[in-house]
Chains A and B, each alone.
Chain A
């Protein structure tokens, strides 16, 4: 700096440095650094603006959202009996309360989700469309549930963060029980699981798959490294067979071939058998992820553990597995996202998930036959919200666990 000033003092003053800070500086550096870059920038900006204006005006003016608003219930819960729709909604309220609890305790991510969910609930709750009064009240109750969770949070946790996990498991269990129904309890008659459809079906199947594939996948990965040949080869065979077959084929086989092997008087519940199929499919992939994550743990870690006198299983559970799982958080979440999207494949065995419900709506109603764009845009946005949430949370977890990693 002082050298530049010195030469400036001697002869002509140096030209001012090009502006590199602020918006203007950024634009100049990145978008208008030469005449050809400027041209490209202008043309692309025009194209983008044209597309954005077109999309927005289509969404607001041209599109006919009747196809969505008149059938919200079909998209969300499928053919679930109308008089029972409060049950999944109460399950949602339970999860909302849980979100409120997390907000108070951890802030950050949970707060964003809690506020977002409450805002969406308020908007949906006040839009005039075909919601029954009870359903509307239960939608509007979501912010209240979040608030309630926020208020009881300190008392619930009381210095033991693990209670939140217990509460979450309990909420999910009660929610599932509500959705399925309980034999002999008035007002909670078990529903025919074949009526469950729409987004609820996608979520339930994804929950099955995600919840069970972690423990089963870890078990398979450990089994694959077992010293017992029988265990080892059973795990290898399972993993390789499942991974070698497309999910659609597995779904077909579970729906149409497996029942042939059962006695005739046993009725197989399609929802459960599909859930188990997706769970096993996901477990095989999870097993390979876990194995890769554990293989990436430095060999010195195992040596140090052995030198300290830890047993083989202690070394695995306390040293290799925790580090291995942390290595593969991005892979795990990627798998969950793809699993969630794959649940829409169940249309192949006649289940009415969100995507299939959209297709059926368009094709079986003459008045909606031209509304495909609205339906698929809606479905895309719903899927995107869930998938983006998962990847957002995973990035936050990675960052939080990054402490002390390397």
Chain B
């Protein structure tokens, strides 16, 4: 049994200069066989393993990760959490996640620094105003908190926004979800890893999957850089590399992997106490607890796995940021990076069985997967354990691209794609 983190353990370890903290998770060699193997040790993969062990009593499982846990998009996103999606299926999925976020630090005994500071989405033209009002009504019908704000109310909620009507894309209004906010991305991966490890899950890092073995349409195991692992169930949670893993099993997915960039500024004193997103001009910004402005830019339009994006994308975002927040004009950006996001044609995720028995895919989260981490893990664990989707992720199956029953969240989600 692992020691609980608490004020007392903090005090006790302070006496030994914090040199005797125990390991948060083990570093095991892979066993020959597992009941299930999760491919991908990001937030979603680790959460899947955690809920498989906790809710479905599957402790003989492993998470294999080609790098280190949380080193992919989990550590590269802008940490925004919200659930104000337009369609019923999306609202159910994302609000399920938001409800888990609200108690996650307690459940994991790990501070994920979930902060419900609110997310405001701005409208810059008449169509934005109509869309955001419609989404506010749809959210409320689904039990999700949402209010529409006029320009004065936007200014009151976030005084540093330039609400002058003379700028190129003036602020005409916005929506606010107060339960939304941010969390510490690394802590989410570490907290789930620690929780899963404690229940007996093997977290195997630096272990890349090379091929998927199957006999007919049933999976038999995976070949990895650390040898062959036999298993009957494989849950692939590989984000930008989902198509690469699917290809090993002879499957094609409706995904395109593209670079998405973000950047942070030098740290400054508290200046913005909420998250503001603007779809039309493509700028979103929040402030981390360290004081850095965290700014999200857009995706490039070409497929790439290079984790580098184009300079003009960042320039466009900063142009918009400077017009909306003139106070930032003399700030310097410290770091900029790209992550590879797997985008579905309908901008909704895939949490699904496949035509191969025992092979499951959790992918297609595109530009906005972080917010769904706990819900995604919970529902994917349900899908793997029961070989059937939960009712909340039933709509997010692979077959929707054949039936045409898409969950079209492009533009509808108030998010910049």
To the question of whether A and B form a pair in one complex, the answer is no
